[in-house]
Amino acid sequence: MAAWSDLAIDVLEHITSFLPIPDHYRFGAVCKNWRSISRQKRHPPTPQFPWLVLEDDKETRNCKFYCLSEAKHYSIDIPELHGRYICGSSYGWLFAVDLKITGILINPFTRECYELPPFPGYSAYTNVSTLIEKMPSDYNGEPIGWTFEEMQTRIVWKAILSHDPKERSDFTAMILFGEMNEPAFWRPGDPSWTVIDGLDCSMDDILYFKGNFYFVAAMNLLSVVDFECKPKLIEVGLEIPAQISVEGCGLQRYLIDFNGHMLLIERFGHSDTNDKSITDGFIVIEPKLEQNCYNIWDDIDGYALFLGRNACIHVDSCRLPKCKKNGIYFTHPTESISPVEFGFHDSGVFDMTNKTIGTFYSVEVIFPHVDSPVWITPNP
């Protein structure tokens, strides 16, 4: 019988098509021949849970990830992310901001990276671009009203990509920035971000859908970017009343491309005795823009959604035995100046079938209390 290391290349390549990300790397550690096969990446990893990106390990500075399917942490040394705050993910790429409020776009599993230009001015009181130009490397002061750590976590609320940069070099990055979650975009080669003339409201989420960027704000207000002449937001004519009951309050809205359907997910809840937001449930709405109407979905066809500060993700739970069918996995949407308010106080999984909320992590898992965890689909 031939040794494992001498198995035919086509057999080894076929084996890698069944391996999730952790096993893919373990496969490559067996021997030189297997490592060569694993690096070719002829097959994408088998369907898997999205991972959570956590804060840096304070001792090693490694980036910590949490793999739900294994209920296990992974600590990976990614020097480009040392000291940076993860403010979004899309197509397996991370948006990260450092203390000088400069950003990068990076694939943490391939280390491919784009340097982003300085973000637009943070507010009328703090022009971040000017601040960066005047700030020496050993600057110890603080901008008026904010620490740099607070600015780092608030400069970008959401960030997504139009396409996977590995597949298309002419992608567009779109962000919601500043106190009012204003939209701005950047394309490779642009010297700066272009701020989009917006509506007089704060945006909750962004979606690139069938060639257009859509936004959602409070009261389920939908808008789309008009790139003609000077880019601006225009309202979509469809009115979608809030679907929550009078007992609850709207906490956040999300947009997702669900197998070719645009879905608007309304998150509702209440405040506890400490004024922390607590999620009670979600309502899934399909805006049908061409027909000028909308539908309420009772389930999501056995799929699972992953909502947070990432570009929203959906997976086929039938291919993931441990994944809750018709489940909505969520991390908390709230911001607070106090670091103790960040973390997992309002995270879990909502079961659309029986309208209950449970946890997606074991009680033994200790999550950080500073950064807001972000979902990512590994894209090696």
- Judged on CB neighbours under 10 Å (0-12, 13-18, 19+), 275 is exposed
Residue whose C-alpha is closest to residue 24's, from 10, 9, 33, 35: 35
pLDDT of residue 7: 65
**What is the model's pLDDT at position 368?**
46
d(CA 332, CA 310): 12
pLDDT value of position 343: 43
pLDDT tens-digit map of 216-261: 998 899 999 999 888 999 999 899 988 765 456 778 999 999 999 9
The pLDDT of residue 41 is 60
Q: What is the pTM of this model?
A: 0.84
Cβ within 8 Å of residue 60, ≥6 positions away: 75, 77
Mean pLDDT of 36-62: 73
- Antiparallel, parallel or unpaired: β 93-97 and 103-106: antiparallel
314: left (phi over 0), alpha (psi -120 to 50) or beta: beta
Q: What is the pLDDT of residues 81-135, one digit of tens each?
A: 988 889 999 999 999 998 777 899 999 988 999 999 988 864 434 444 444 444 4
Lowest mean pLDDT among 24-33, 70-79, 331-340: 331-340
Nearest to 261, CA basis, from 226, 291, 217, 232: 291
Write the secondary structure of 39-94 as one string of H (helix), E (strand) and C (coil): HHCCCCCCCCCCEEEEEECCCCCCEEEEECCCCEEEEECCHHHCCCEEEEEECCEE
- Residues 187-213: what's their mean pLDDT? 93
- Residue 46 — very low, low, confident or very high, per pLDDT cuts 50/70/90? low
- How many residues appear in the chain? 380
| Placement of tokens 């209920």 in the chain | 71
User: What mean pLDDT is predicted for residues 292-301?
Assistant: 95
Mean pLDDT of the chain: 80
Q: Residue 33 has what pLDDT?
A: 66
Give the β-pairing of 203-209 and 212-217: antiparallel
pLDDT confidence bin for 369, thresholds 50/70/90: very low
The proportion of the chain whose per-residue pLDDT surpasses 70, expressed as a percent, equals 72
Q: Is the pLDDT of residue 138 over 50?
A: no
- CA distance linking residue 203 with residue 223, whole number of Å: 10
pLDDT of residue 304: 96
Band (pLDDT 50/70/90 cuts) for residue 294 is: very high
- In this prediction, residue 140 has a pLDDT band, given cuts at 50, 70 and 90, of very low
Rounded to the nearest 10 degrees, the angle between the axes of helix 21-28 and helix 32-40 is 140
